[in-house]
Amino acid sequence: MTTVITREQAVADARHVLDRARARRDALPIRVAAEQAAAGSFRSADEIELILRRLHHQAQGTAPARAAAEHLHAA
């Protein structure tokens, strides 16, 4: 049996699914996210990790380049 839902309900359901997926993605450790993003990419996991750390630091309002570079070279 087919159930018909309103457009508004379909949009709400889709938003809920996307919000859960974003929350799972955002909960990943940066290195794991970088390794997953590197699959099939022309960038290495190290490059992507540096970018992610820079963006993370920018979002927090801190100096991104130095912190990300220090972390990358410490690994």
67: helix, coil or strand? helix
Asked if residue 2 belongs to a domain, the reply is: no
What pLDDT shows up at residue 34?
Answer: 93
Residue 41 · residue 48 · CB < 8 Å: yes
Asked if residue 26 belongs to a domain, the reply is: yes
Asked if residue 19 belongs to a domain, the reply is: yes
Q: What is the pLDDT of residues 31-69, one digit of tens each?
A: 999 999 999 999 999 999 999 999 888 888 755 555 556
pLDDT: which is higher, 75 or 73 = 73
Residue 55 · residue 64 · CB < 8 Å: yes
Asked if residue 20 belongs to a domain, the reply is: yes
Domains in the chain, number: 1
End-to-end CA distance of the chain: 56
pTM across the whole model: 0.57
Q: What is the pLDDT of residues 7-25, one digit of tens each?
A: 999 999 999 999 999 899 8
Asked if residue 44 belongs to a domain, the reply is: yes
Domain that holds residue 43: 7-74
Residue 43 to residue 27: CA distance in whole angstroms: 22
